[in-house]
Structures are given as structure tokens and as C-alpha cells.
């Protein structure tokens, strides 16, 4: 299945880290978060990617045009011959289509802009380019495909935000207050599975998860795959630091490809 990745946002809340690179290229270890996400999909056999570019899309193109396999694979340097002998490869089977979908386009618009590259596909995958998970993608797809009436499905994950829970008596006097995670609240975590019919539900200018999803809900054609495993997005500089610390400890749950070695 083809994988559409939305890579065009401005990433304004990460500007304190860098205001010169797009969020998908913010690094975790040697590689940007976009690479980690693509490697996750490749682990499940999905290696045909469509990148919806926008802000600093030139840097995304440049990254892959100048991709250096030696940065994340074992290799032997034959110094006398000035040659590198790789012992593994990342991109052997990858096919990547780069599409300029506009600087200020929303997700729905970006998806419409790449429709022509999905012709002939009965279903496809899509995702934001700033979140990682250990979600069992094969199970998600299988659950979606088993329900023939569904047009779209997404990962529903717990919010990692903490809230100050307030308990008050009938007079409004606070009796107890404390920070606690809202474990019952599930949010849209991306990792979409779509049938090609999704394009019948999107009108020009619409944000994907607003009006189009409302139409799908009205027809009971939208599903959620509940996942309470690892999921985290890189939304702020604090998230960037969190990912860096996980990488430094070697505790990277989204790297399913390493767990089988």
C-alpha cells in the first residue's frame, strides 16, 4: 500500500529548536523523525511513499537526494580505495514521490493535491510526519479491511497531557486538587488507513478531520483503532528532548525493526 505523509507544516512550536528546517527533519539520533516514521512503515512492507511538501520542502528533497547510508548502517572503509563497503541498506526498496502541496495548505488540501499519484489504489495509508508509535500496523489494516463499509480509520491513543483535576463541593469550595493524566481521553494519533472513496468526502479547502470526518461519522464509515502502547509526537522542543533521551538510552519502542534482530 502507498503511504502518504504530510510534511508541509510550519512547526511553529519547534522554532526555539530551529527556525531553518521543517519539523519532519528534526533529528532523533542520526536521522530525522521523518526517516524513523518511514522506516516504521517499511518494517511492515510499505515502501512506496508520497511526501506532501510545503514549508522548506527543498530541504526534504535535498536530504534524500544526498542520503548517506553509512550514517545508520555498519560499513567497512576501504581507505586505500577511498570506498565504503556497506553491510546493510535502508532505502533499497523505497520509492519516494515528492510533491509540492503548498506552503499554507491544510491536511485535506494536501491530500487532494496528491490524489493523482494514488490513481488505481483501492486503499492507502497516510500519516502526520511528526509522530512515532509501536502500533501494530498489520492489525490495524486487517481490522479496517474486515469492515467493508468503512472508508477511514485512525489510531486513537491516550493523551500524554496531564490535567489539574478539581473536586469541589456544592458551594464551589475546592476540596481536592492535583495533577493527573486523563487516561480515559483518547485523541487522534494519525496512522490513517483510507479507501479511495475518501476523496468523495473532501471538498476543496476543507481540513481532513473536520467536515470530511463529520460526514463519515454521520454514515458510520469512520473507525478508530484503539492503541494504548507507545505513541508520542514531536510538537514542542520538550518533545524533541524526550525523543533524544530515549535514543540516548537505547529505549526506542517505535524501532520495531530492531526488536527482531
Q: Is the pLDDT of residue 214 over 90?
A: yes
User: Is 167 a member of any domain?
Assistant: no
| pLDDT-derived band at 162, boundaries 50, 70, 90 | low
- Give residue 16's pLDDT: 55
Residue 72 structural domain:
2-156+187-259
C-alpha distance from residue 72 to each of 29, 31, 68, 78, 209 (Å):
10, 8, 8, 18, 35
Grouping H, G, I as helix, E, B as strand and the rest as coil, residue 171 is coil
- Give residue 254's pLDDT: 96
User: Is 173 a member of any domain?
Assistant: no
Encode burial over 78-95: b for 16+ CB neighbours within 10 A, e otherwise. Answer: eeeeeeeeeeeebeeebe
Q: Is the pLDDT of residue 219 over 80?
A: yes
Q: Is the pLDDT of residue 234 over 60?
A: yes
Q: What's the chain's average pLDDT? A: 86
pTM, two decimal places: 0.86
User: Is 152 a member of any domain?
Assistant: yes
C-alpha neighbours within 13 Å on the C-beta side of residue 75: 16
User: Is 172 a member of any domain?
Assistant: no
User: Is 180 a member of any domain?
Assistant: no
Which residues touch 154 (CB under 8 Å, ≥6 apart)? 188, 189, 190, 191, 192, 193, 223, 224, 225
pLDDT tens-place string over residues 88-140: 777 778 999 999 999 889 999 999 999 999 999 999 999 999 999 999 999 99
- Give residue 114's pLDDT: 96
- Give residue 18's pLDDT: 55
User: Is 83 a member of any domain?
Assistant: yes
- Give residue 185's pLDDT: 74
pLDDT-above-70 percentage for the chain: 86
pLDDT tens-place string over residues 181-209: 555 678 899 999 999 999 999 999 999 99
Distance from C-alpha of 119 to C-alpha of 132, rounded to nearest angstrom: 28
Residue 41 sits in a domain of what CATH number? Answer: 3.90.550.10
pLDDT-above-90 percentage for the chain: 59
The domain tally of the chain equals: 1
Radius of gyration of the chain (CA): 20
- Give residue 91's pLDDT: 75
Amino acid at each position: 500500500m502507498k503511504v502518504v505523509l504530510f510534511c508541509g507544516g510550519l512547526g511553529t512550536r519547534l522554532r526555539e529548536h530551529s527556525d531553518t528546517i521543517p519539523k519532519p527533519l528534526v533529528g532523533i539520533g542520526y536521522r530525522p523523525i521523518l526517516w524513523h516514521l518511514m522506516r516504521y512503515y517499511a518494517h511492515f512492507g510499505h515502501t512506496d511513499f508520497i511526501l506532501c511538501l510545503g514549508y522548506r520542502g527543498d530541504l526534504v528533497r535535498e536530504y534524500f537526494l544526498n542520503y548517506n547510508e553509512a550514517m545508520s548502517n555498519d560499513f567497512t572503509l576501504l581507505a586505500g580505495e577511498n570506498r565504503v563497503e556497506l553491510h546493510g541498506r535502508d532505502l533499497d526498496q523505497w520509492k519516494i514521490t515528492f510533491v509540492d502541496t503548498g506552503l499554507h495548505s491544510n491536511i485535506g488540501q494536501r491530500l487532494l493535491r496528491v490524489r493523482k499519484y494514488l490513481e488505481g489504489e483501492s486503499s492507502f495509508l497516510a500519516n502526520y510526519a511528526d509522530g512515532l508509535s509501536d502500533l501494530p500496523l498489520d492489525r490495524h489494516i486487517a481490522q479496517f479491511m474486515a469492515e467493508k463499509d468503512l472508508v477511514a480509520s485512525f489510531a486513537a491513543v491516550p493523551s500524554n497531557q496531564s490535567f489539574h483535576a478539581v473536586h469541589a463541593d456544592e458551594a464551589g469550595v475546592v476540596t481536592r486538587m492535583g495533577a493527573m493524566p486523563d487516561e480515559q481521553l483518547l485523541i487522534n494519533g494519525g496512522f490513517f488507513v483510507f479507501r479511495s472513496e475518501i476523496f468523495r468526502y473532501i471538498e476543496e479547502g476543507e481540513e481532513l478531520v473536520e467536515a470530511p470526518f463529520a460526514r463519515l461519522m454521520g454514515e458510520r464509515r469512520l473507525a478508530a483503532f484503539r492503541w494504548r502502547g507507545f505513541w508520542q509526537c514531536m510538537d514542542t522542543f520538550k518533545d524533541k528532548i524526550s525523543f533524544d533521551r530515549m535514543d540516548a538510552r537505547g529505549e526506542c519502542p517505535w524501532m520495531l525493526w530492531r526488536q527482531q534482530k
